[in-house]
Structure 1
Amino acid sequence: MTHTVRIWDLPTRLFHWALAASVIALVVTAKIGGNAMVWHLRLGYVVLALLVFRLVWGLVGGRWSRFGAFLYSPARLVRYLRGAGHPDDAVGHSPLGALSVFALLAVLAAQVGTGLLSDDEIAFSGPLTRFVSNAVVGQATGYHKEIGQYLVLGLVALHLLAIVFYIAVRKHRLVRPMLHGDKELPQPVAPSRDDLLSRVAAVLALALGAGLAWWVSTLGAPAF
């Protein structure tokens, strides 16, 4: 007997696919350059808003989307790698998957932050460059264009390889639950809340992220 449980609430699923699409578009616009950099900057604000939303949603979102649900101890990670994991490890993010999630969020935050401080000395200048020294701008630009982008690409590739491994080797369905939200589990667990009230809360969290991104975008405008 299996139990159908709502694991990924709708806001988490929309965040996941919106972030994936935004990262792909950011990479494409960065490679094209030129006028596409206008969209690169706009997409950077979108990712900033999404990251703020995820930070808030990691505190107040659905049961399995909260950071507390996949903030594992080193001992539990070791047990998982040895094949002696807890039954809950297969419900939401596994201990290894949790490391990937936190690493990707951290690297994306660093990429967005350094992008806001970057200046290509041609046509693009981040809105925060006028608040820091030229040395800081140079360091941020170097990281954003060299180290940061390859860290993002590397973690995305690792994330995709892990999905293929879990699907092909461990026979875990990871993509479908992120589409419709439910998982078939051998034991009943507490589901994630995914009702109208939680979705209203998600809209408010996204509005907070969008408002912060818009405010940051205005900081680059000259004061009169």
Structure 2
Amino acid sequence: MTASPATTPQAVTAPVRVWDLPTRLFHWGLLAAVVALFVTGKVGGNAMDWHLRLGLATGALVAFRLVWGLVGGRWSRFASFVRGPLTVWRYLRGQWPAQAGHNPLGAWSVLALLTVLALQVATGLVADDEIATVGPLNALVPEDWASWGTRWHKGTGQTLLLALVGLHVVAIVLHRLVKRHDLVRPMLTGDQTLPAGTPASRDNALSRLAALALLGLCAGGAVWVARLGG
């Protein structure tokens, strides 16, 4: 016998805090920094001074996210969303249920993006465009390292970064149009509609103060690195 619509149990959902405030601010701050880096890099000239500053800021943000991925809110931790290749394959075949935060494929795209950004920052620190801009750590590395770093930073690394950002945007659009999943709103509000009982991320005043202190340490580290070449 088939249950009538009036007696069919409905899944109970509720807004759940998935993205804590530090993660959201990191996300939008990193987006702004990457766009500004691309613009200043293309403009060149005096804008390269800002390009260097933005590169250091990006390095601080990446370092913050790597640490926050270990100690941050539940769904910001890598342990909560990074899965192995088999799980990614199951997700691609539609055999993985919807979950809070990043899906298995999206998790690996996040790691790829952080890795490429870290390489871009590192190579920018040692690069020399042989015109007017020299990375602050250029004099501290062998010439062949600096040469390779410059080629990577201006060529392969930039191409990979743009490709990953493009894929990220395409994935957001496809989720919205095909799966009817809005990935932007949760990154603005912090909340995602999920089955009732889904555990929420920690996002209280103490956690936010800890994140601010961590960001301060990362920023201080970036300034220290920049001064090594001085």
How far the C-alpha of 1:187 sits from its partner, in A, is 3.9
Distance 2:24 2:227 in 1: 30
The counterpart of 2:95, out of the listed 84, 88, 99, is: 84
- Tell me the residue number matched to 1:208: 217
With the length of structure 2 as denominator, give the TM-score of the two structures. Answer: 0.93
- The share of aligned pairs that are identical, in percent, is 58
- Tell me the residue number matched to 1:125: 134
Distance 2:49 2:21 in 1: 30
- Tell me the residue number matched to 2:5: none
The counterpart of 2:68, out of the listed 51, 57, 73, is: 57
Counterpart AA for 1:54: R
How far the C-alpha of 1:58 sits from its partner, in A, is 0.5
How far the C-alpha of 1:90 sits from its partner, in A, is 2.6
User: How many residues are paired up?
Assistant: 219
Mapping 1:137-148, distance limit 5 Å: 137-148=146-157
Cα RMSD between the aligned structures? 0.9
Counterpart AA for 1:172: H
What are the superposed Cα offsets for residues 68-87 of structure 1, whole Å, 9 maximum, x if unpaired? 011102221111111110x3
Mapping 1:182-221, distance limit 5 Å: 182-221=191-230
| Greater relative CO (CA pairs within 8 A, separation 6+) | 1
Distance 2:46 2:120 in 1: 20
Mapping 1:140-159, distance limit 5 Å: 140-159=149-168
- In the alignment, is the contact (CA less than 8 A) between 2:140 and 2:229 conserved in 1? no
What are the superposed Cα offsets for residues 199-222 of structure 1, whole Å, 9 maximum, x if unpaired? 01101110111011000110121x
Structure 2 stretches of 5 or more lacking a match?
Answer: 1-11
Structure 1 stretches of 5 or more lacking a match?
Answer: none
Counterpart AA for 1:193: R
How far the C-alpha of 1:169 sits from its partner, in A, is 0.3
Distance 1:206 1:63 in 2: 18
- In the alignment, is the contact (CA less than 8 A) between 2:15 and 2:192 conserved in 1? yes
Mapping 1:14-33, distance limit 5 Å: 14-33=25-44
Distance 1:4 1:163 in 2: 20
Distance 2:87 2:196 in 1: 20
Distance 1:188 1:140 in 2: 48
The counterpart of 2:187, out of the listed 158, 178, 186, is: 178
Could you say what secondary structure the match of 1:41 adopts?
Answer: helix
- Tell me the residue number matched to 2:6: none
Counterpart AA for 1:44: G
Distance 2:20 2:218 in 1: 19
